[in-house]
Every structure is written in C-alpha cells, then in structure tokens.
C-alpha cells in the first residue's frame, strides 16, 4: 500500500503539463491508484518515467509500450479513461 507521501509524489508526477495527459492520468491516480496492487503501483511509477509523447501515444492506443510489464497498467488507465462518469 502506498504511503501518503508516496501517493502525493505520484499525484504530482502524474501532472505532466500536457492537458491531454493530465485529463487521463490525474483522475486515474485520484480514483484508482490506492486500490492497485504493489506490482501495479510499481508499473504506474515506471510509466511516469517515460516520455510524454510515448505515454500519449499509448493512451490514444496508437502504439503499445515495448516493455511488456507496462502494457497491463496502460490498458487499465485507458479503460478507466473510457469509462463514463456520473457528473451529477
């Protein structure tokens, strides 16, 4: 389980400065990160070390990460981003 300090660090690293990524990654961290397994959290942190252009291509499903260990977390983030939210 992530410590509060680690969760804050992951949140801030999820803010990429690219609006399209911020709109995908920040809600995912806010709503899902705490519920991920340690392995999934590790994969998410590894994802954050990648270049924005790569992450964006993965989120738009234009390509997949070469590193196979990142593929499940990318799939989970994309699924989360594509799930309709109740805005009421």
Report residue 87's pLDDT band, with 50, 70 and 90 as the boundaries: low
What pLDDT sits at residue 76? 97
Residues near 13 by beta carbon (within 8 Å), at least 6 away in sequence: 45, 48
For residue range 5-47, list pLDDT tens digits in order. 888 999 999 999 899 999 999 999 999 999 999 999 999 999 9
Q: Is the C-alpha dihedral spanning 7, 69, 51, 54 positive or negative?
A: negative
Single out the residue of 25, 62, 59 nearest to residue 45, CA to CA. Answer: 25
Kindly list the structural domains of the chain, giving each domain's residue range(s) and its CATH number in brackets, ordered by start: 4-81 (1.10.150.250)
Residues near 64 by beta carbon (within 8 Å), at least 6 away in sequence: 58, 71, 74
Q: Is the pTM of this model over 0.95?
A: no
């Amino acid at each position: 389980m992530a410590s509060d300090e680690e969760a804050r660090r992951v949140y801030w690293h999820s803010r990429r400065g690219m609006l399209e990524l911020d709109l995908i990654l920040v809600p995912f961290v806010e709503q899902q990160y705490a519920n991920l397994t340690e392995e999934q959290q590790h994969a998410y942190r590894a994802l954050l070390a990648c270049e924005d252009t790569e992450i964006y291509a993965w989120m738009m499903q234009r390509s997949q990460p070469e590193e196979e260990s990142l593929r499940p977390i990318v799939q989970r983030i994309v699924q989360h981003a594509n799930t309709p939210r109740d805005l009421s």
